[in-house]
Chain A
Amino acid sequence: MTTTAPKLGEPVTTDRGAQVKKFLTTAGPLIAFIALAIFFTVASPTFSTPGNLSILLTQLSILLVIGIGLTFVILLGSIDLSVEGVMASSSLVFVLLATNDRNDFQFGFFAVIAGILTGSLFGLINGVLHVRLGIPSFMVTLGTGAIGIGVATVLFGGRAPRLLDDTLRFWGVGSTFGISNLVFIAILVLAIAFVVQRFTRVGRYGYAIGGDEAIAKLSGINIRKYKISAFVVSGTASGIAGVMAAMQLGVGDTTIGGGMLFTAITAVVLGGTLLVGGRGGVIQTLIGVGIIVVLANGLILIGVDPYIQTAVQGVVIVIAVIASGWSLRRRVRVIK
């Protein structure tokens, strides 16, 4: 019996029936996404117009970047709740260092780097506290998230500093070939993340640690180093997302990441990455984000009453998660 070399993060199977099931499991979210897209195309005349497709891509970009960062941490079996605080801090650091209406700094592109590195710093703090002090990731990131909001509030100083640098604003507001520039940034981040996930130790050992940490440790992997790296990746991604949001909105704001954390976690889970770790990836997250964005956009286009939109979104998400995990439910999985 021949077996194809298993891909990272996918179950190993050898016979036809199981292979079909495996296909459905991993392709479940993709099927859900396609089903939603077809439904809205049929139900609304404007859904599949180029204008709306361009908007869908824009709405997808910041959420995707956050989701990518979260994927690396969730693959470990941990969680990163500091996203909104990190986005707030990095957006403010970025705006206050670029040309703005509060002070005379004009660092341009270096302000972008500074904003992103702010995120990396928070990620490093998360990782070190979690790994060295043994504090559960849930608690550590909750705390650093609050610190992030606090730092942002101090920098905020009562009113939102406005980004006045035209070049940087163009990245957030302008478009190339009819597609928002933010989309290109998101695609770049996705490409880099995919390479890291597939071809570097940070990515591959992340799967191993998430799959079974004890075994990974026994086989000689430096657990600490790779766990910290995953948190740094997540923090960096949140930093990038904060900078992107600041470019899009033109201000640094403490609430810039409002609501994005749970939307991003939902997207990651919807895409097929397991919260217990070991299975999933950034491409799966892309599909999960796609489902969320298409759903929100489509419900407005078909005219669903705003009062019940949130409820409808919740129902669809629950159905999608159940459908994706249907064949896995009989396996012994630790659900916490």
Chain B
Amino acid sequence: MKLSTNGRPGLRRRLVTAAAVFTVASLALVGCSSASESGGDGGTAEAGDVQLVAAIRSLSNSYHANWAAGSELFAESVGSKLTVLSDEADSQKQLAQIKALAGSGQVYALNVDPNTSADTEAIVRAVTDAGGYVVTQWNKPDDLNPWDVSDNWVAHISFDGRVSGLEVSNALFEAMGGEGGIIAIQGILDNVASQQRYEGLTNALADASGIELLDTQTANWSRSEALTVTQTLLAKHGDKIKGIWAANDEMALGALEALRAAGLEGTIPIVGFDAVPQALDEIKAGTSGYVASVSSDAFWQGGAALSLAYKAATGEIDVASLSHDERAFYGTQIIVTQDNVDDFLTTPALEDLQADFDDPFLRSQGGIN
């Protein structure tokens, strides 16, 4: 449409500017209003209307891929669709994705793995404002609890890294025959999981007089960094290293590659956490020295936690009546060694998890302290 302005360019420019400002203002108005539209105080919804959402870091690590598969199993069991959000380790992106859920106007049940502890508060407040229901896992600030915020923050599930750290470390020491030096490769030093697992190691060391901690470094949960760090530590300590402890399987597998490159594969026992498929294969094969890992059962994490949020959203569970131990609890961790590795090598079927979907508290190990 050509604006006829009879040779007054100033007018044309002003009209176009006014139109642009008007459009932007109306968009902003629409955007703001739809965010605050849904009520904030937790109305529940009919079973079919609840949107199911799983928010994880990325589908390109097996742990979260299994998590999403667990959520999918639950979604199938109630006949709903699942939305999977991946934030690629970007806190801002995760928060933006969760805030955008409010736009649909539906009540939603969210199962989220917050990127860091600092993000949890913003996430649960956004969910509260939108009238959704959320179960968080792994990361939250110590002094912030679900009952302090709202009934929309149904529960927080974590896993006591100190417990699994202790058990896995003991499995390592046993494989070493109780004697020798170890190196410890930690995750991101700021993460709760990394700190707790390392604390478990420290506690185990206190009781193991024959074992010496030669060195500890961080590889930030990364396989390639762990390879580099292990190479350097092998150069530094040489023969004194009789065992390798890593805070997750990805790093342990990186350390294993460093051993391979040095021709030491199979001579030094290694342990990790998370029970990723490749680690399980190594444990089963038994030739590379990979001794143990820990499973928090990512399928359970994806499915049962979503079930809990869903039951709160439909009103089946009354959040106000839940005890503190039910709103912040530790889940069950299982040490995986060659003896029981076969149980973990297959994706569970719905029947295997149905009991946990019916009672999400089945695997609670007690309240978080």
Q: Which residues of A contact B (CB under 8 A)?
A: 44, 46, 49, 51-52, 55, 58-59, 149, 152-153, 156, 158-160, 162, 173-175, 180, 245, 248-251, 253-256, 258-259, 296-297, 300-301, 303, 306-307
- The answer to whether residues A159 and B261 also contact, given A55-B231, A259-B225, A306-B186 and a CB cut-off of 8 A, is no
| Contact across chains for A159 and B65 when beta carbons are under 8 A apart | yes
Provide the main secondary structure of the chain B interface: helix
CA–CA, A2 to B36, complex, Å?
78
User: A44: nearest residue on chain B (CB-CB)?
Assistant: B236
Q: Name the one of A51, A152, A160, A248 contacting B227, with C-beta atoms under 8 angstroms.
A: A248
A190 to nearest B CB, angstroms?
Answer: 20
A307 lies within 8 A of B189 (CB): yes
Smallest beta-carbon distance A63→chain B, Å: 10
A51 near B224 with CB under 8 A, answer no
Q: Does B228 contact A (CB under 8 A)?
A: yes
With A59-B231, A307-B189 as given contacts, are A249 and B60 in contact (CB-CB < 8 Å)? no
Q: List 8 A-B contacts (CB under 8 A).
A: A55-B234, A153-B60, A180-B261, A255-B222, A259-B222, A297-B232, A301-B236, A306-B189
Contact status of A51 and B235, CB under 8 A, knowing A249-B257, A306-B186: yes
Contact B278 A162 (CB under 8 A): yes
- In angstroms, Cα B224 to Cα A245, docked, is 8
B60 in contact with A255 (CB, 8 Å): yes
Name B216's closest neighbour in chain A (CB-CB).
Answer: A306
Decide if A55 touches B235 in the complex (CB within 8 Å): yes
**A58-B231, A255-B60 are known contacts. Are A173 and B261 too (CB-CB below 8 A)?**
yes
For A159, give its contact among B215, B222, B236, B278 (CB under 8 Å). Answer: B278
> Contacts A55-B235, A300-B233 given: A253-B223 contact, CB under 8 Å?
yes
Cα–Cα, bound, A162→B218 (Å): 25
Q: How far is the CB of A171 from chain B (nearest CB, A)?
A: 11
Smallest distance from the beta carbon of A246 to chain B beta carbons, Å? Answer: 11
Q: How far is the CA of A259 from the CA of B228 in the complex (A)?
A: 13
Least CB distance from B218 to A in Å reads 5
Are B236 and A158 touching (Cβ within 8 A)?
Answer: no
A258–B224 contact, CB under 8 A? yes
Is the pair A46, B218 in contact by a Cβ cutoff of 8 Å? no
**Which residue on chain B has the smallest CB distance to residue A175?**
B261
In the complex, chain A residues whose CB is within 8 Å of the CB of B66: 158
- Give chain A residues whose Cβ lies under 8 Å from the Cβ of B58: 153, 254
Cβ distance A41 to chain B, nearest Cβ, rounded Å = 14
Q: Is the CB of B224 within 8 A of A300?
A: no
